[in-house]
Each structure stands twice: as structure tokens, then as C-alpha cells.
Amino acid sequence: MINAVVDLSHHNASVDFAALAAAGIAGVIHKATQGTSYVDPTYATRQAQARSAGLRWGAYHFGDGTDAATQATHFLATANAAPGDLLALDVEQNTQGASMSLAQAETFVQAVFQRTGRWPGVYGGSYLKQLLGSSTTSPLGQCWLWISQYASQPVIAPLWPQWTLWQYTDGNVGPNPHTVSGVGNCDRDMYNGDLAALQSWWSAG
């Protein structure tokens, strides 16, 4: 495993991407959108800054209970993804309204695949595992898994044979380290492989 990925949003008030690169971070996944209309106000600026610093880039969408196909269109229009950028769907409980259902998550990832020719990642923790239960047939299984679990090891749903990314801390809870130069306390993610494998996998998008 390699500890070389962070995920960010506008909640991370100050980000120095050159410092992140110098600290050994290889890639950043940033919130782009939520629901059918919200856009993270820092996304576009930080996308350019990260690329200038030589970091790999990814975009994620926070899913909610609104129309899933519309959410996918909104996400792709905002993400401005280049070849080799990651795309991901965040499936967790929405504290400000209706949460995304399993059927909506399946519609979203299939819409992204139909539009881009590649399956996005799926991020989630206990809520995602609750939605899936013991299922081994969901279209989400075509997606790479980004598991969130602040413990010594992640436990994943039966749908996937293994995890690809593991968010092991939110910057406060979970194993150390919680911080990284250029951001401070933040969400940090392990990749299930070495640096060469990470670079190859990320390049493939």
C-alpha cells in the first residue's frame, strides 16, 4: 500500500499543491458537484493549480436523492475531465435531504459509463455496505471501490474482491498520519499497490 492520495473540497480552506507534491502526494480527488445543481466553488481553480504542480487529478460527485441521470450530466459537465483523470461517485448519507438510493447510484454510474466509456469509482462506507447487503450482481461491481473506514483495516462489501483506494482518516479520526504539508488535516487515502501501479492505474482513468 502507498499513502499518496488526498481528497479535498472547499472545506479545505487553503491548499498548496506544490507542497503536496513535495510531500509525496501523487494524486488529488476533489469534490466537483452535488445533486443536480451544486458546484464546489474551488473546483475549477484547484484543478488548474494541481495540474500545474504535476499532480494527478480526480473529480467526485456527492450523490443525493434527486434524479440520478441529471446528476450524472451535471457532474460530467463540471468535472472537465481530461484523459487520465479519475471520476468517482460518493454514496453516503445526505444530512441535508434525501440520500441516494442503490438504484440511483446504479443509474448514475451507468450514465457515466455510457457517456465516457469508463466506469467511475464508488466511494462509501457503512451506508454503501447497508445498501448493497450481500449482493454480488449490482452494476456498481464494475466500478473500482474507494472504501471509507477509519479503522486499522477496511472491511468491504462482497460485491468487490478488493478495494482500490481506502480513505483511512478524515484528518481527525482513524490511523495516523492525519496531516500532510500543503493542506494540514485532511482526508487521506491509501492505494492498494505501489507508486508505479498507482501511476499506471490513474493514467488509465
**Cell digits of residue 12:** 479545505
Residue ranges making up the domain that contains 73: 2-189
Place of cell 483495516: 153
Whether 4 contacts 24, CB under 8 Å = yes
Q: What is the model's pLDDT at position 149?
A: 96
198 domain residue, yes or no: no
Does a structural domain hold residue 102? yes
pLDDT band at 204 (very low <50, low <70, confident <90, very high): confident
pLDDT digits 0-9 by tens, 52-82: 999 999 999 999 999 999 999 999 999 999 9
Is the pLDDT at 106 greater than 90? The verdict is yes
User: Is 195 part of a structural domain of the chain?
Assistant: no
Residue by residue, what is the 3-state secondary structure of 136-181? Answer: CCCHHHHCCEEEECCCCCCCCCCCCCCCCEEEEECCCCCCCCCEEC
* Domain count of the fold of the chain: 1
Q: What is the pLDDT of residue 205?
A: 73
Is-contact 55 27, C-beta < 8 A?
Answer: yes
Contact 68, 107 (CB under 8 A): yes
Please state, in angstroms and rounded to a whole number, the distance separating the CA atoms of residues 125 and 162.
Answer: 14
Which of 134, 201, 129, 132 has its CA nearest to residue 165? Answer: 201
Whether residue 203 has pLDDT greater than 90: no
Give tens-digit pLDDT for 108-160.
999 999 999 999 999 999 999 999 999 999 999 999 999 999 999 999 999 99
Which one, of 113, 48, 38, lies nearest residue 82 by Cα?
48
Residue 133 lies in a domain: yes
What is the pairing mode between strands 86-90 and 56-62? parallel
- The SS3 call for residue 190 is strand
Model pTM?
A: 0.95
Q: In percent, how much of the chain has pLDDT > 70? A: 100
162, pLDDT greater than 90: yes
**Average of per-residue pLDDT across 191-203:** 95
Domain membership flag for residue 181: yes
- Which residue, among 36, 174, 16, 150, has the nearest Cα to 100 in the 3D structure? 36
Is 202 domain-assigned?
A: no
**How many of the other CB atoms lie within 10 Å of CB of 95?**
6
CATH number for the domain that contains residue 56: 3.20.20.80
- Domain assignment present for residue 168? The answer is yes
The answer as to whether 205 is a domain residue is no
